[in-house]
């Protein structure tokens, strides 16, 4: 039996099949520490949503790969206990490597209990991307682990991911890529980007309320891809919406987040009704956590107990994750 099954995790195959049938997207939330992980579990149990616990290579280094495995075990135990307390069903959890860039990293994650991995060869040539992705798929499938590949490049900075400009996914390449690699899902580039600074104000228009509105996602590319590979699981990265409420709290409490514009939530909901069955959200969590911590430390400058400012940060995250599940991704009630 694969290690992840012994831990109580699932891979993403059935998750995605059900999501495509139900016209929603499974949330993939990144975490780096205990409070983020606790918030994800609480929010998803309370909304009865499946969830993908997502770890980047940088987060894995930060948390320590051995400790991370036991954090995942603890998350499962916490989920089961919380579900029992509330009298609700348990929810499916997958542990996923986000933006793995080498075969060795993916192999290590699989051998330490991950149930899903992403191999991001998008910075290589098309041929090299196929070669690298196929190698990971062959090893992963031997262990019943699902694999996400990527075609196209997202601009922006988030953790270890850095790219100056976006390159949209070419629909004419997806059939060959999927067929030759055997991947289980495909991350595409249709206008999302990593980090809080997705769009500059000069790239946007202003609505009647004076709020910046970014260019619409390239749904035409998504629709072409859906025609090319019907029924195949599509993934969106860089899908944080950069909530202005959180940005304002940060800036009102000695922060300096300027000219930040994210992906409108109504566009993400539209995407979630398509073949997009996994949506990655990381920066929004970082923003709300930072906002809560900054506000607490400004209001209570003598506070030095981490529980007193990390606790409110955790609560802010719970509220945000529940909102995403219920109103953006449509995953609430789908566990």
Residues annotated as part of the active site: 98
**Cα separation, 329 vs 29, whole angstroms:** 12
Strands 205-206 and 146-151: unpaired
N-term to C-term CA, the chain = 24
3-state secondary structure of 105: helix
**Cα separation, 212 vs 155, whole angstroms:** 19
Residue 295 CA, distance from chain mean position: 26
Cβ(260)–Cβ(197) below 8 Å: yes
Residue 196 per-residue DSSP state: S
Cβ(94)–Cβ(116) below 8 Å: yes
Q: Look at the alpha carbons of 277, 278, 279, 285 in this order and tell me if their dihedral is positive or negative.
A: positive
* Nearest CA among 238, 115, 128, 125 for reference residue 184: 115
**Cα separation, 114 vs 140, whole angstroms:** 10
């Amino acid at each position: 039996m694969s290690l992840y099954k012994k831990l109580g995790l699932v891979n993403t195959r059935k998750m995605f099949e059900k999501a495509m049938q139900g016209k929603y997207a499974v949330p993939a939330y990144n975490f780096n520490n205990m409070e983020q992980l606790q918030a994800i579990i609480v929010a998803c149990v309370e909304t009865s949503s499946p969830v993908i616990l997502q770890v980047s290579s940088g987060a894995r280094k930060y948390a320590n790969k051995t400790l991370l495995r036991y954090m995942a075990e603890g998350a499962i135990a916490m989920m089961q206990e919380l579900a029992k307390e509330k009298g609700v069903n348990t929810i499916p959890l997958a542990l996923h490597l986000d933006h793995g860039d080498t075969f060795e990293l993916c192999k290590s994650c699989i051998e330490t209990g991950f149930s899903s991995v992403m191999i991001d060869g998008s910075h290589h040539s098309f041929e090299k991307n196929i070669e690298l992705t196929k190698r990971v798929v062959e090893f992963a499938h031997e262990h019943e682990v699902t694999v996400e590949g990527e075609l196209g490049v997202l601009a922006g900075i988030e953790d270890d991911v850095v790219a100056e400009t976006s390159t949209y996914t070419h629909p004419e390449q997806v059939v060959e890529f999927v067929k030759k690699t055997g991947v289980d899902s495909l991350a595409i580039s249709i206008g999302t980007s990593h980090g809080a600074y997705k769009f500059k104000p000069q790239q946007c228009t202003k609505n009647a309320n004076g709020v910046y509105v970014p260019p619409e996602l390239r749904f035409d590319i998504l629709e072409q891809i859906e025609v090319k590979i019907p029924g195949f699981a599509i993934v969106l990265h860089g899908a944080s919406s950069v909530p202005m409420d959180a940005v304002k709290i940060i800036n009102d409490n000695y922060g300096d987040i300027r000219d930040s514009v994210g992906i409108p939530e109504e566009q993400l909901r539209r995407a979630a009704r398509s073949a997009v069955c996994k949506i990655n959200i990381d920066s929004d969590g970082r923003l709300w956590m930072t906002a809560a911590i900054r506000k607490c430390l400004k209001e209570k400058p003598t506070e030095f107990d981490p529980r007193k400012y990390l606790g409110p940060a955790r609560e802010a995250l719970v509220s945000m994750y529940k909102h995403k599940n219920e109103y953006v991704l449509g995953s609430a009630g789908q566990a």
